[in-house]
Amino acid sequence: MPFMNAEFSGRDRWMAKLVLSPTILAATFFIYGFILWTIWLSLTRSTILPSNHFVGLANYYDLFGSSRWWRSLSNLGIFGGLYVVISVGLGLGLAILLDQRVKAERLYQVVFLYPMALSAVVTGVAWRWLLDPGFGIQAIVRSMGFPHFAFAWIDDPDMAIYTVVIAAVWQTTGFMMAIFLAGLRGVSPEIVKAAQIDGASTGRIYLRVILPSLAPTFFVALVLSVGLAIKSFGLIIALTGGGPGYSTNVPSIFMYVFSFQRGEMGVGAASALMMLVIMMIFVLPFLYLDSRRQA
Amino acid sequence: MKSMHKKMLAVCIGLAIGGGFSVPAMADSAPSLSVINWWTAGSEAKAMHVLVQMMKAKGVNIQNDAIAGGGGAQARTILKTRLMEGQIPGAAQIKGVEIQQWGHTGLLANIDAAAQAGNWDKNVPAVVNDYMKYKGNYVAAPMDLHRLNWLWYNRAILKKAGISAAPQSWPELMTDLAKVKKAGYIPMAGGGNGWMIATEFDPIALETGGPTWYKDVFVKLDPKAIDSPTMVKALERLRAIEAYTPKSLAGRTWNFDTALVAHGKAAFQIMGDWANGQFEFLHVTPGGPQVGCVAFPGTAKEFIYNVDSFIFFRQNTPAKRAAEIKLAETMVSPKFQLLFNKYKGSIPDLMNVSLNGYNACQKKSRAQFLVARKENGLVPSFSQNMSTYGPPTGAFIDSLDKFYTSNETPQAAAAAMAKRVEVAKSQD
Amino acid sequence: MRTSSAFGPRRWLIYGLLTVAAVFFLLPFYVMLVTAFKTMPEIYSTGILALPDSLNFSAWIHAWSAATIGAASEGIHGYFLNSFILVIPAVIISTAIGAFNGYILTHWRFRGSNIFFYMLLLGTIIPFQIVLLPMAWVEGRIGIAGTLVPGLMMVHVIYGLAFTTLFFRNYYVGIPHDLIKAARVDGAGFFSIFFRIMLPVSTPIIMVTAIWQFTMIWNNFLFGVVFTQGGQQPVTVAINDLVDTVTSVHMWNVDMAAAIFAALPTLLVYLIAGKYFVRGLTAGAVKG
């Protein structure tokens, strides 16, 4: 009875839209509505509180005239680039190692994953101590008989951003490892067997057979790590406070400091929109690829 | 969930129509006053608890909204979001020139009644009161009076290094630092983040250029005074101090430095009088047999001050208005000020109360404040946001930090500082 | 026991590399742990890697029940409870909505549903700082400002939806549409298909989503500090109040002990449910 079925599914289609509607409303208002509000704020002379005094693009001129903002952008480039490459690379490496039928695999998993469970406020303190030349890694290595060993990046405005990379890699590599381990476990054993029968070495099998089949996994890992890089905030605040000076400022810190601490809300809003634009540049190609795969 | 979303849709439309910012007159269910501050831990938090108890005895419920982080950055965020929520706090910890900025918003309450009841005009120094007023009316209440230009020293180390008395001048300080180094101790505990460097530079700058130049630079933001031979000299002196500061201590906070002095590992520390609290915590009484305090060499007749204060917001009910006045009165009452400042290491804003039970350094602070007031030696601390508003202060701190952590020459640093401050001025 | 031939140089290399990595990952935790057992004089006088003189639990007890945080000197235990009160409903609600959304976006597609999904994904990358002020405005208007539940919970649910929807959508894409078609021919409706066909196979992705949401919400600081007040704050805010002060006395042993307490629930979740995490990711979430 096709007619009856069609009637029935029509009511269900309506139900599906109804169930989805709260999310549609929430997204429209709480994501796009708020972005529109921020756009408006960035065009006003808002200082310690929002105002409706329209000033055109003045905040954007201030923003791009600020050496601190340019430093924040270049830091994001350095930090984001290194962080994404290292955490994805290291995560993949650890996943491959764990995939070799390792004893105590779950123990290793937990050891690699646990930094995700700790609040950044305090891991920042622990890392600050470790990176401190006076009593951290430098002092420990020196006391082991290498008196000229030097590792004082955290005090060096040109190097401090790399300590942020270390701590951020430490915090989320385990998560990347879990994603890749999952991907590896999802590779069909048949194609691996086939390659083994052809006499390919383990390294070759990974390079030619397994990794190419992990393309969707790379997709997810890259999207998540790029997002984490751009949104990094708490850990940097706890580790370096954005310093020495403003040498480890990134856009998220710049935005927070200007909006809430310095009372330059208009400039802060302008910087937030620039952050969003940067993220879009990274994410849109991913969405395009995804839509192609769906089609 | 669905009805909640409907509500939000209504709000969405409301936002679209109403637009912008307004403070709604919302009916308030809780009769208590929220007090936003960043005194979240240790003795500072305990002092706030005392305030809450004292207010309770007067029939006023205080909600102590203490939020730590970034030297008040977090608390400011909270203050702004509360105002957006339409939840007007009773008072918020805002100090220095920023009080004027808040005055412009029209949100602050007139608390002249409290000032009259406590006779602040007479009992509190004018230099403090000036910050508390907006267009002639009191809108804020002071809590304490901190001094920045202190040099803390370990007596035993000085003795071992052959130093008979604490240094009184810059050349003496240099000689003493060299002697301590020779004796094998850390000469100066310090360095670290921008805040700590700026806190150390505060007395160095005052000593180098004197009060008039200090105010030209940090209050008037005069580019000629900033990019000047005096600034170059002050920066050279910061370098000279830096040379006696172990690089390796940079990651520690000032608390560690204080412990080094207390435990006989470092001879000197430049730090504000909040170090008193840390020394007491380590069971060492400043001004006692182990650790001494002296005005930073060359600044005995001068006083770099920092005053913590609370601004008060307009309330929509008479009951809340009355409660607010009571709160302001209590904050500046002898009983609370004596208790609070003993914990904080500072001195009361009230000059007419006796400092029984305070340590020798705190008593010295009061005596030297009175001298400095007569000799025109009072200057507002730039490092503690007392001398100017946010962006220029940030520019000074950023410049000093860059200079301290790089090989920049003092000449280049002074020029860069003047340029940064100019840019920051235009940002407001 | 393995034979020596099985445990050859290659195995040694694998275990060697894993161990080096494990040391790197454990080092900060080790520092936190030993510091929490030290007394303050020990912290000032010994190296950061040095073992404590004795197992001193006073910092732990102080952190749990006596440390002065905000308005009271009762330690973090009350805030710990707040975090549970917040996280449990927030995780359940956001996961449930995400499951329905994923189901609709894969098997009840309509014109524009893909566009909507991509628009929703922007929610995963929006800088959270920009939502603070407008969200505060909204919460004030609907009268839930400053509350843990529903105020803060609502914020976490809204900004978690993009993630939970993404996870379920990617998982449900892998379930053959013919199954749903067949059920519809048999007369099953929107809800009965979900509860009879989708839900029974969803355990792995529910675990992934719940673990992700639990971690994110439990560790979140920014929303917690802004949207709660008056003793309703989650534990991350309490930790920050302890640690992040400038002009007061620091007790690092208490800081570290408090931080480890705060991390325990998430650590337990990883220990108990960790294998589901990888298994659930395997089952579909990472297949895109």
Please, what's the b/e burial string for A237-270 (b: 16 or more CB within 10 A of its CB; e: otherwise)?
bbbbbbbbbbbbbbbbbbbbbbbbbbbbbbbbbb
Instruction: Specify the higher pLDDT residue, A51 or C193.
Output: C193
DSSP string, C189-222: -HHHHIIIIIGGG-HHHHHHHHHHHHHHHHH--H
Interchain CB distance below 8 Å, B391 and A262: yes
For residue A103, the distance in angstroms to the closest alpha carbon of chain B comes to 39
Name the residue ranges covered by the structural domains of chain C: 9-56, 77-287
Question: How far is Cα B117 from Cα B150, in angstroms, rounded to an integer?
Answer: 34
Task: Tell me the residues of chain A between 165 and 194 that have a Cβ less than 8 Å away from chain B.
Answer: none
Does the beta carbon of C233 lie under 8 angstroms from any beta carbon of chain A? no
Q: What mean pLDDT is predicted for residues C85-114?
A: 93
Nearest CA in chain A to C222: A234
Contact A182, C281 (CB under 8 A): yes
Interchain CB distance below 8 Å, B84 and C45: no
Q: What mean pLDDT is predicted for residues C256-261?
A: 90
pLDDT for res B427? 57
Nearest CA in chain A to B401: A245
Phi, psi of A48 (to 5 degrees): -80, -20
Contact B201, B383 (CB under 8 A): yes
Report the alpha-carbon angle B331-B332-B334, nearest 5. Answer: 110
How would residue B17 be classed by pLDDT, with cut points 50, 70 and 90?
Answer: very low
List, for residues A153-180, the tens digit of each pLDDT value. 887 778 889 999 999 999 999 989 988 9
Contacts with C272 (C-beta within 8 Å, 6 or more apart), sequence order: none
- Alpha-helix residue ranges (DSSP H) falling in B31-164: 42-57, 73-85, 98-104, 112-117, 120-123, 126-132, 155-160
Report the alpha-carbon angle C246-C251-C254, nearest 5. Answer: 125
Phi, psi of B188 (to 5 degrees): -135, 125
Instruction: Specify the higher pLDDT residue, C261 or A129.
Output: C261
List, for residues B298-335, the tens digit of each pLDDT value. 999 999 999 999 999 999 899 999 999 999 999 999 99
Interchain CB distance below 8 Å, B84 and C137: yes
- Tracing tokens 């123990």 back to the chain, one arrives at A107
How would residue B16 be classed by pLDDT, with cut points 50, 70 and 90?
Answer: very low
Q: What mean pLDDT is predicted for residues C156-160?
A: 94
Task: Tell me the residues of chain B between 137 and 196 that have a Cβ less than 8 Å away from chain A.
Answer: 193-194
Q: What mean pLDDT is predicted for residues B68-83?
A: 80
Mutate to test the interface with C, among A94, A113, A130 (most CBs of C within 10 A): A113
Tokens of residue C213, six digits = 């949401």
Which residues of chain C approach chain B closer than 8 Å at the C-beta?
44-45, 67-73, 93, 97, 132-134, 136-142, 145-146, 150, 154, 225-227, 229-230, 237, 240-251
Instruction: Specify the higher pLDDT residue, A117 or C202.
Output: C202
Residues of B in contact with A52 (CB under 8 A): 19-21
H or E element in which residue B373 lies: helix B360-374
> In one letter, which amino acid is B65?
D
Residue B25 has pLDDT above 50, yes or no: no
Please, what's the b/e burial string for C1-37 (b: 16 or more CB within 10 A of its CB; e: otherwise)?
eeeeeeeeeeeeebbeebeebbebbebbbebbebbbb
- As assigned by CATH, the class of the C77-287 domain is mainly alpha
Contact B87, B79 (CB under 8 A): no
Report the alpha-carbon angle B194-A245-A171, nearest 5. Answer: 100
Helix, strand, coil share (%) of chain B residues, nearest 5: 55, 15, 35
Contact B25, A56 (CB under 8 A): no
Interchain CB distance below 8 Å, A127 and C104: no
Order of strands, edge to edge, in the sheet holding B186-189? Answer: B186-189, B266-270, B150-154, B291-295
Using a pLDDT cut of 70, give the percent of chain A over it. 96
Question: How far is Cα B283 from Cα C40, in angstroms, rounded to an integer?
Answer: 12
Beta-bridge partner residues of B35: B64, B91
Q: Let me know how many helices (H) and strands (E) chain B has, helices first.
A: 19, 14
Nearest CA in chain C to A168: C25
Instruction: Specify the higher pLDDT residue, A29 or A264.
Output: A29
List, for residues B327-378, the tens digit of each pLDDT value. 999 999 999 999 999 988 999 999 999 999 999 999 999 999 999 999 999 9
Nearest CA in chain A to B20: A52
B291-295 vs B150-154, strand pairing mode: antiparallel
B33-37 vs B62-66, strand pairing mode: parallel
DSSP-derived 3-state class of residue B326: helix
pLDDT for res B18? 36
Angle formed by the axes of helices C132-142 and A34-42, nearest 10° = 120
pLDDT for res B13? 36
Domains in chain A, please, with CATH? 67-294 (1.10.3720.10)
List, for residues C77-96, the tens digit of each pLDDT value. 999 999 999 999 999 999 99
B91-93 vs B33-37, strand pairing mode: parallel
The full length of chain C comes to: 288
Contact A180, A172 (CB under 8 A): no
CA-closest candidate to residue B95, choices B147, B44, B130, B47: B130
Out of C70, C132, C241, closest to residue B81 by CB: C132
Tokens of residue C116, six digits = 């909507």
Of A106-115, B38-47, B217-226, B395-404, give the range with the top mean pLDDT: B217-226
How would residue B237 be classed by pLDDT, with cut points 50, 70 and 90?
Answer: very high
Out of A134, A260, A267, closest to residue B80 by CB: A260
H or E element in which residue B16 lies: helix B2-18
Question: How far is Cα A136 from Cα A179, in angstroms, rounded to an integer?
Answer: 32
Instruction: Please compute, for residue C56, the number of CA atoms within 13 A of its CA located in the half-sphere on the CB side.
Output: 19
Enter the ipTM. 0.83
Mutate to test the interface with B, among C39, C157, C246 (most CBs of B within 10 A): C246
List, for residues A217-265, the tens digit of each pLDDT value. 887 788 788 888 888 888 888 888 777 767 889 999 898 888 887 778 8
Out of B38, B71, B85, closest to residue C140 by CB: B85
The fold of B27-145+307-356 is: D-Maltodextrin-Binding Protein; domain 2 (3.40.190)
List C-alpha distances in Å: A43 to A29, A47, A55, A272, B33.
20, 12, 6, 13, 35
For residue C22, the distance in angstroms to the closest alpha carbon of chain B comes to 25
B186-189 vs B266-270, strand pairing mode: parallel
Residues of C in contact with B263 (CB under 8 A): 44-45
Q: CB burial class (10 A; 0-12, 13-18, 19+) of residue C286? A: buried
Name the residue ranges covered by the structural domains of chain B: 27-145+307-356, 147-305+363-426
Residues of A in contact with C222 (CB under 8 A): 233-234
User: What is the CB neighbour count within 10 angstroms for residue B59?
Assistant: 9
Q: How large is the greatest C-alpha to C-alpha distance in chain B, in angstroms? A: 79
pLDDT for res B159? 97
DSSP-derived 3-state class of residue B232: helix
Residues of C in contact with A129 (CB under 8 A): 31, 48
CA-closest candidate to residue C274, choices A47, A177, A237: A177
Does the beta carbon of A156 lie under 8 angstroms from any beta carbon of chain B? yes
pLDDT for res C192? 92
Q: ω into residue A244 within 30 of 0, thus cis?
A: yes
CA-closest candidate to residue C84, choices C240, C268, C283: C268
Instruction: Specify the higher pLDDT residue, A17 or A223.
Output: A17
List C-alpha distances in Å: A102 to A192, B141, B206.
18, 66, 65
Does the beta carbon of C222 lie under 8 angstroms from any beta carbon of chain A? yes
Tokens of residue C253, six digits = 């042993």
List C-alpha distances in Å: A209 to A193, A199, B317, C203.
11, 13, 74, 30
pLDDT for res B70? 62
Tokens of residue A42, six digits = 């960035």
Of A176-185, B360-369, B397-406, give the range with the top mean pLDDT: B360-369
H or E element in which residue B11 lies: helix B2-18
The fold of B147-305+363-426 is: D-Maltodextrin-Binding Protein; domain 2 (3.40.190)
Tokens of residue B43, six digits = 């003795």
> What's the mean pLDDT when you consider all of chain C?
86
> In one letter, which amino acid is B399?
S
Report the alpha-carbon angle A164-A167-A170, nearest 5. Answer: 145
pLDDT for res A107? 87
Does the beta carbon of C49 lie under 8 angstroms from any beta carbon of chain A? yes
How would residue B20 be classed by pLDDT, with cut points 50, 70 and 90?
Answer: very low
Q: ω into residue C150 within 30 of 0, thus cis?
A: yes
> What's the mean pLDDT when you consider all of chain B?
88
Instruction: Specify the higher pLDDT residue, B151 or C219.
Output: B151
Tokens of residue A144, six digits = 């082991």
pLDDT for res C71? 65
Does the beta carbon of B246 lie under 8 angstroms from any beta carbon of chain A? yes
- Alpha-helix residue ranges (DSSP H) falling in chain A: 2-26, 34-42, 58-64, 67-98, 105-113, 120-131, 137-143, 160-186, 189-197, 202-204, 211-213, 215-231, 234-239, 251-256, 265-294
Domains B27-145+307-356 and B147-305+363-426 share a fold: yes
Does the beta carbon of C85 lie under 8 angstroms from any beta carbon of chain A? no
Interchain CB distance below 8 Å, C44 and B263: yes
